[in-house]
Amino acid sequence: MKWILISILSFICLQAFAQDSNNPFNIQINIKPANGRFHINANYSVPVAPCNAYAFLTDYEASKNIAGVVDLKILSRSANKVRVSRVLEEDILFFHIELKTVVEYTEVPYRLLNFEQVSGDAKYYKGSWRVMPDKDKTIVKYDAVVELDSVVPMVVIEYFMKNNLYERLESMAQKAAQYKPSVVLACK
């Protein structure tokens, strides 16, 4: 009986280790549907300074290489506000979804990036990116509320949103870890 218990515990430990090695950026995602909207809290950690993580987030052109982003253009930039036009594509079961949005970002250097859709296909999209130092790495936190205009059932959207968001965050974390800003930042 002891050997069975030891075997089961060993298997569980191996599974936990395998999951950690498959998630090197400690990506965490929580999506809660409520009143037709999705409340998203997600984060990842990267082995870079907060300045570089923030520089990556605000290098909007770098987002062109993120999974699901098929087109991106900076429309305007003034003071700490940037308007970006994006086209995202996703396949959910038999449905092909294309989302076109114009998002206005408000930059708070090296710490925070607030955003809100000013026009586009989503009924509502608003949130923030936060950059938080944590020992020898930086935690990048994404909080958003999204309401889509879709005939696809909420439970199906939630499932695919979670999987696609994981893929996007992993892609972002990989690129942020390798990102070299064109200008060396004097981070405060």
pLDDT one-digit tens code per residue, 76-99 = 999 999 999 999 887 766 767 788
Q: Report the range out of 20-24, 121-125, 137-141, 171-175 with the highest average pLDDT.
A: 137-141
Contact present, 84 and 69 (Cβ < 8 Å): no
User: Residue 21: its pLDDT value, please?
Assistant: 54
Q: Is the pLDDT of residue 156 over 80?
A: no
pLDDT in tens, 99-121: 899 999 999 999 999 999 999 98
How high is the pLDDT of residue 11?
Answer: 39
* Angle (deg, nearest 10), helices 154-178 and 50-58: 120
Task: State whether residue 15 is helix, strand or coil.
Answer: helix
Q: Which residues pair with 102 in a beta bridge?
A: 85, 119
Cα–Cα distance measured from residue 43 to residue 25, given in angstroms and rounded to the nearest whole number: 9
Backbone angles phi, psi at 88, to 5 degrees: -115, 145
Burial 155-181 (b: 16+ CB within 10 A, else e): eebeebbeebbbebbbbbbebbbebee
Please give the share of the chain, as a percent, with pLDDT higher than 90. 54
pLDDT score of 3 more than 70 = no
How confident is the model over 154-174, as a mean pLDDT?
84
Q: Is pLDDT larger for residue 64 or for residue 58?
A: 58
pLDDT at 30 over 80: yes
Cα angle 55, 171, 100 (rounded to 5 degrees) comes to 80
The SS3 call for residue 22 is: coil
Domains of the chain, earliest start first: 33-178 (3.30.530.20)
pLDDT band at 155 (very low <50, low <70, confident <90, very high): confident
Q: What's the Rg (C-alpha) of the chain?
A: 19
pLDDT band for position 152 (cuts 50, 70, 90):
low
Per the CB < 8 A criterion, the answer to whether 114 and 106 are in contact is yes
Per-residue pLDDT band for 174 (boundaries 50, 70, 90) equals very high
* Rounded-to-integer distance, Cα 43 and Cα 142, Å: 6
Average pLDDT value for residue range 155-167? 81
